[in-house]
Amino acid sequence: MTLQWTQNSAAPCKQHVITCGFSAGPQDNWLITQHINRVVKGNPLPQVRVMVEFQYNCDDPLCEITLGLYKYETSSILQLNLRRDTSQYQLETFLVRFQDAQQNRQNRTLEINFNTDQTGFYLAFRDGTTCIEITRVIVFYNVCPGGAGQFVIRPELIAPKIDRFKTNPITVPVNCIERASTENVVTAMLSCTQGGIWTIPSGRECHCFPGHLGGPGGQSCTGKNSSVLQKVLHYCPVSACLAGMYLSVLYQACRTCPMFSEGTETALQECPCLENYYRAPGEMDLACTREHFIPSHYIPMLQL
């Protein structure tokens, strides 16, 4: 059976491959990809993922739907005649395999995880006695993205391979953004998970310094004497505590200065007491009070 190509400008891919040969009896149609290199930035990928979108139609009593996905591992780019040697391909999985004369056109999307030993491979789709259309094939791998977010600077890392029986995340030390830190004395670790998602244990997150507030997405912390503050305040006046307010404890919003204290600057961690008013260290959330003097005239208590 000769493979036929159809054009579909509305689809993500411009070309779809179709085989439709059940009326002609048993078929053995192969669709082989180009060589796929699994080396990225000099390092072999731990796992390659393949997403296949296809649709099939079975409206004939002789229709037997069979679509297999095969793999040929090799580090070399082969000549066309060697690449077409189907005896070198090993069955990875059946995308669909059954016999049913009542099946109408069906659409499917499947994802397959490949673990390979070589630095490259070929993929092949083998079709027999069916009417099937492959609309898209995507070969990809998961990445934990780099950049700042949630007050943490994350490196870009290739995600570990997906394993149904165990989790094997990649861990790196937490690196807080400027003007942020983590309170936990134990070294906090970021985890790059199999799905390409960063996670961090609860209680070991980074937070802005007291007196500083976080920007959108946790990408910045702003406060007084900050060049960033001048730029952010133009668009968002509440990026740091305003004069007359303070922020002393993590997770709290800016608060008005307690009684008998004042804040003449922005981004304060504590409002200083007025003259002749006092409070103990660490009591920045309490009102200031006057100093208590020992009275000059008093009557001593009688001792019995």
- Domains annotated on the chain, with CATH: 4-140 (2.60.120.260), 143-208 (2.60.40)
Name the more confident of 176 and 62: 176
Say if residue 137's pLDDT is above 50.
yes
Q: What is the mean pLDDT of residues 270-284?
A: 86
* Mean model confidence pLDDT for the chain: 76
Check if the beta carbon of residue 278 is closer than 8 Å to that of residue 291: yes
Name the more confident of 30 and 240: 30
Q: What is the mean pLDDT of residues 6-34?
A: 65
Q: What is the mean pLDDT of residues 128-142?
A: 81
Torsion of CA 71, 73, 79, 82, to 10 degrees: -70
Which pLDDT score is estimated for 70? Answer: 92
In this prediction, residue 192 has a pLDDT band, given cuts at 50, 70 and 90, of very high
Among 5-9, 43-47, 163-167, name the one with the lowest average pLDDT: 5-9
Which pLDDT score is estimated for 238? Answer: 36
Say if residue 181's pLDDT is above 50.
yes
Q: What is the mean pLDDT of residues 184-195?
A: 77
pTM of structure: 0.61
Say if residue 78's pLDDT is above 60.
yes
Helix (H) or strand (E) holding 232: helix 227-233
Name the more confident of 295 and 172: 172
Say if residue 10's pLDDT is above 70.
no
The closest alpha carbon to 56, from 123, 11, 3, 109, belongs to: 109
Among 26-35, 60-69, 118-127, 264-273, name the one with the lowest average pLDDT: 60-69
Which pLDDT score is estimated for 301? Answer: 55
Lookup: tokens for 156: 């870009």
140-to-108, 126, 135, 215 alpha-carbon distances in Å: 18, 21, 17, 33
pLDDT digits (tens, 9 = 90+) for 207-262: 888 777 788 888 888 765 444 333 333 223 335 678 888 877 644 577 888 888 99
Q: How far apart are CA 203 and CA 182, in angstroms?
A: 9
Which phi and psi angles does 161 have, rounded to 5°? -70, 150
The closest alpha carbon to 150, from 199, 99, 77, belongs to: 199
Check if the beta carbon of residue 242 is closer than 8 Å to that of residue 260: no
In this prediction, residue 16 has a pLDDT band, given cuts at 50, 70 and 90, of low
Name the more confident of 113 and 301: 113
In this prediction, residue 161 has a pLDDT band, given cuts at 50, 70 and 90, of confident
